[in-house]
Structure 1
């Protein structure tokens, strides 16, 4: 996973290469590989000085770009295959789906903020194979027209802290969000209904024990969701749902809980500094530790320590 993609090949339509097509020098990106070798990426784009021209054409990819619109637009001049398709207005919170095989372009004539998800067809194929369904030819949507999708909206908003402070991002959380995005998109716009079928059981005892050990032994978040699920012999989606059913928490939430619980034990040692505890428990620094601990416990680490001990 690459949390701040700036140095990848210019052929990939995210991070710096995407920013340059929109007249920017760079843009923060998150890249995960939670579905086989398929890279699912998201780029946060801020255009402050619009060029007033059409964006440069992106190379053709067998992939979709799902744009989460962050501010209203009276009209969105949208093109595909060098043909004007739509000038429909967009509202903040809506999404716009584009097939990258059709070389989508937009008129950059206003300041705007958008978050662009890159979803390769390969990732959708993995999901359909896991769901034991026929592969789909294309997603169903109307080009250039905004769609109200609360799920993608909230998933996109949940990534904003990771763009602002990538060093504090929880890798399991990023994997989980990107998997949820891909699964939701494939289900809602590709008709893969069985992705959301009820899960009858959770993890087997050995799978639960192994996954918890792997997470607890990697408090810094160095292990990915795909690595854990592979060791448990499950697909990423099945593992994520089964882990939650067995523990009551998503993997990334369980990691945070283990970090906080480990910190509580270390706080018994009154001589231990908050910086040392933060480092031992996988937090970036003392302020990151204090912020997470306070949010989950309701008290700062030192206040909690004085109250309990």
Structure 2
């Protein structure tokens, strides 16, 4: 995409098991986008711009704006004509992710997704923007968050952009106590223990889809939200009981920068780490 868009992404994160997400700000585009191996799902955080896509059989015209999505199924090729600048988040989602989520939800996966150009879907749009926002911060937290969001996005695509709507069978019940304790022990770990959704689900002997549902049933929080709360509780204890600098606390808890740590801390408490420390002492 960098060659076609003639710029580098503002930010990008990738995972071999879940695909990649990138935030781009690019200028006018009049070029053919060759077929891609993954499905590409796009949304537009800000701005308004005309979109035109030609694939040889049809012409699709839409508007890039907040709350809409564009979907390019894997293997599709088209010429794009976009007359001005665009602010866009793109998710590159492997078809195997959709097949896995469909299998975990006891339904059949579609052979392909529907093509969309500037299609209204505020739910998918918000999920994509949330995934983009989690590119920088605590590596373990952000990776876990993106894994969960990718599964949510795959579920949403199956329900709203796969031809006939998918029907998911609800299942009830939380994790067994011993399974929940094992999951929490893994999330509690302060070393380099794998806290990915795949590892947590494998420990529990469940699919990722069913593990997330059961974990939330048991704790009231998603695995990502639980880990975020745990890390920030650790931060509060360190700020209150030690003289460690905010920078060292941020690094100890796995945040990529003091800025990312401060933003997460303020979102939970309403204070910066330094202000909170002064108020608690």
Report the TM range for the smaller structure's normalisation: 0.7 to 0.9
CA distance in 2, matches of 1:287, 1:69: 25
Q: Are residue 177 (structure 1) and residue 156 (structure 2) matched?
A: no
- How far the C-alpha of 1:198 sits from its partner, in A, is 3.5
Measured in 2, the distance between the counterparts of 1:300 and 1:235 equals 38
- Which shifted more, 265-274 or 178-187? 265-274
Give distance in 2, aligned partners of 1:218 and 1:186: 37
Q: Would the alpha carbon gap of residues 135 and 301 (structure 1) be closer, same or farther in structure 2, given more than 3 Å must change?
A: closer
Query: In the alignment, which of 12, 20, 23 is matched to residue 6 of structure 2?
Result: 23
Of 61, 83, 90, the match for 1:87: 61
Give the aligned partner of residue 207 of structure 1: 179
Aligned residues: 277
**Structure 1 residues 57, 269: CA separation in 2 closer, same or farther (over 3 Å shift)?**
closer
Partner residue, 1:244 = 216
Higher deviation after alignment, 277-286 or 215-224: 215-224
What are the residue-to-residue correspondences of 1:206-285 with 2, within 5 Å? 206-218=178-190, 223-285=195-257
Q: Tell me how far 1:235 sits from its aligned partner.
A: 0.8
State the TM-score, normalized to the length of structure 2. Answer: 0.85
Whole-angstrom CA distance in 1 between matches of 2:147 and 2:85: 30
User: Could you tell me which residue of structure 1 aligns to residue 267 of structure 2?
Assistant: 295
Query: Would you say 1:32 and 2:8 are equivalent positions?
Result: no
| Deviation of 1:174 (Å) | 1.6
Q: Decide whether aligned partners of structure 1 residues 133 and 287 sit closer, same or farther in structure 2, where only a CA change above 3 A counts.
A: closer
Greater CA deviation, 219-228 or 249-258? 219-228
Q: Secondary structure at the match of 1:76?
A: strand
Structure 1: how far apart are the matches of 2:87 and 2:251?
Answer: 35
**How far apart in 2 are the matches of 1:213 and 1:89?**
47
Aligned equivalents of 1:264, 1:89: Cα separation in 2:
45
SS at match of 1:87: strand
CA contact (8 A) 2:53 2:59 kept: yes
Note closer, same or farther for the CA distance 1:106–1:260 as it changes in structure 2 (3 Å cut).
same
Structure 1 residue 77 corresponds to structure 2 residue 56: no
Alpha-carbon deviations, 1:160-201, whole Å to 9, x = none?
A: 4334x366662211212122111111122233221xx44411
**Distance 1:257-1:220 versus aligned 2 partners, 3 A rule:** farther
Residues 219, 160 of structure 1: alpha-carbon distance in 2 compared, 3 angstrom cutoff: farther
* 1:33-86, Cα deviation, whole Å (9 max, x unpaired): 5xxx4x4322222113x25x22x332353x42222134322x422022x44522
Distance 1:68 1:299, change over 3 A: closer
Query: Match of 1:14?
Result: none
Given that 2:68 and 2:118 are in contact with CA atoms closer than 8 Å, whether structure 1 keeps it comes out as yes
Partner residue in 2 for 1:153: 125
Identify if the C-alpha distance between structure 1 residues 291 and 65 changes in structure 2 by more than 3 Å, giving closer, same or farther: closer
How far has the Cα of 1:110 moved from its partner? 1.6
RMSD: 2.7
Check the 8 A contact 1:21/1:58 in 2, yes or no. no
Contact 1:98 1:104 in 2 (8 A): no
Contact 2:137/2:257 (8 A) holds in 1: no
Which deviates further from its counterpart, 273-282 or 223-232? Answer: 273-282
- Find out whether 1:58 has 2:34 as its counterpart: yes
| Equivalent residue number for residue 136 of structure 1 | 110
TM (norm. structure 1) is 0.78
| 1:29 positional shift | 2.5
